A and B are shown apart, each in its own frame.
Chain A
């Protein structure tokens, strides 16, 4: 049985929503009633059925709509996709990884056939059937990274590894939480993380870099990150701040449940075999408060997390203006009873 892809939008009339099954599989990011940074990295191995970890590259009911939204972003701003000249080989690595994983996880939707370097890729949801020569850029309509990331949910950063550091040298970034590939391109790990508060002092980035530069082929890793977004807008980029920034002034006690979304990023890290680069997929999941609070444990816990969040973090995540309204709304769903440990809903 295949996925039923929703017809929905992430802009203008914002018709995005989650089906009941997708609410239950939402990757709720809080395992306890408070939140602070940690190097919360774990092996990226297949998880239980009915979770977003059932396949290592997740395809869900929002796939077609997300790819349409990405195409709109790229038409308006082609610099959301960039690859420095030495990163083409890594682009082929990524194409192989995403085609293999999508075909493996969703054979009813994707098929990859390989005959030496003659490849055929069938993507049924998007109506694509292309034959090409692996390694020959002239046989694809786009560069290899752009070609496959126009057909894969989530943002992708390809990090070149050299001089004991990682360098943001290629990427497809259209569903980001307020950061810009065009600004960060060519930067190293410490440079692009410079704006993050509190974590530098804790030595988190030094340890994280050491871990990431030692990621091995065949042993990907993952972590969750989160923020909040007003309206289900995928493209919350600095380039378009004028479009979404003012949304944060529109939250009222009446519309919290519909407008305020928890935005969770499933970030994974993979060593690419030919280029020795690291690919960093950032997969964004959105859920509106009305949907989230259908799980009573999540409602109680989110209330406590947002209420007690340090001001620096609330500010960095852009929550400050509407936090009191949100906390007040959530408090009505928190009877003070204990929450069970772990991420899952009860």
Chain B
């Protein structure tokens, strides 16, 4: 099968600054048709033509799945990142033609749940924007706990309060407000499903406490926002296609492989879906594994790597690509 998903030709219909770090982008189809329907929690991969380089970054769709005239995403500016969010903030303007993927959902609601308990940290709020809209339209039972650094950085907090009132609880770091997690997790009705999206530390904390308090793993859903991290450049040999390539500081290994004209399959580009899993033929050096897909055993034995988020330091690396 071919790589990735079907593509959509879109035009940027609006760019709206939300606060000092976050900007919202609206896309419509260039042919004026409706966009494909999606489910709450889905993301699209946005293609950015940044000079010589093509960047492919995943962003959660945050509009209502009931309205497919446009897709909306919110991008948090990451000044220390690899440049995708900076490109979106600095160069994307209304009227620009862009390409996005069909929606993919790796963080979907479990529709059996009698109640959906949602925990968001920072920009991790975006998938919940769509999920709450979907559930509210069906009369679904949900409650959202949202932590942010300050009130002014509480992206969409006011909007959510206005829409859903007491179903939304806010916590501000600068006021030392913190989710009383154990109490919250201990007081839920039977049939509740838990969803968490935010920084890795928060996801780890919530999953650990849920496990300790006896939540079945199949009722705990999470989405990591693992953007590829920059790092020292390294060289890689692609054995199947017979090329040697360099991965530079701001590039992911997957992007470097693609730039060489080789197209491994991908969906999430964030180390969770498993599509781009690549066999290591030989190596002399150290892996920097950043994915959530491979097992600890896989990480230890050094026979596999997820090129979307993981890197390498050392003398040589040969991959089966």
Contacts and interface: CB of A to CB of B under 8 A. Distances in A.
Interface of A: 43, 84-87, 89, 93, 96, 160-163, 214, 216-219, 221, 273-276
Interface stretch (B79-87, B98-106, B227-235, B280-288): B98-106
A276 B1 contact: no
A219 B2 CA distance: 10
Contacts of B108: 161-162, 276
Given A162-B218, A273-B103, A276-B105, A89 B36 contact: no
B275 A214 contact: yes
Nearest to B39: A276
Interface string B1-22: 1100110000000000000000
Nearest to A90: B111
A185 to B, nearest CB: 14
B244 interface: no
A303 B108 CA distance: 48
Contacts of A162: 108, 110, 218
B38 interface: yes
Contacts of A274: 37-39, 65, 134
A218 B39 contact: no
A242 to B, nearest CB: 36
The 9 closest A-B pairs by CB, nearest first: A273-B37, A86-B111, A276-B108, A218-B6, A86-B112, A276-B39, A163-B218, A216-B5, A276-B105
B267 interface: yes
B12 to A, nearest CB: 22
A23 B103 CA distance: 40
Contacts of A87: 111
Contacts of B103: 217, 273
B273 interface: yes
Select the residue from A96, A216, A219 with max chain B CB neighbours within 10 A.
A216
A219 B110 contact: no
A221 B134 CA distance: 28
A219 B218 contact: no
Contacts of B267: 214, 216
Contacts of A89: 111, 138
A96 B68 CA distance: 15
A294 B298 CA distance: 56
B275 A218 contact: no
Given A43-B1, A86-B111, A273-B38, A217 B65 contact: no
A96 B36 CA distance: 12
A275 B39 contact: yes
Interface in B259-317: 267, 273, 275
Nearest to B8: A218
Nearest to B38: A273
20 contacts: A84-B112, A89-B111, A93-B37, A96-B37, A162-B108, A214-B267, A216-B104, A216-B267, A217-B6, A217-B38, A217-B102, A217-B103, A218-B102, A219-B1, A273-B38, A273-B39, A274-B65, A274-B134, A276-B39, A276-B41
Interface in B50-65: 65
Interface in B124-139: 134, 138
A216 to B, nearest CB: 5
B36 A273 contact: yes
Contacts of A85: 112
A114 to B, nearest CB: 10
A252 B111 CA distance: 53
Contacts of A161: 108
A241 to B, nearest CB: 33
A43 B41 CA distance: 26
Contacts of B111: 86-87, 89, 160, 275
Contacts of B138: 89
Given A43-B1, A217-B5, A275-B111, 11 more contacts: A43-B2, A84-B112, A93-B37, A96-B37, A160-B111, A162-B218, A214-B275, A218-B102, A273-B37, A274-B65, A276-B42
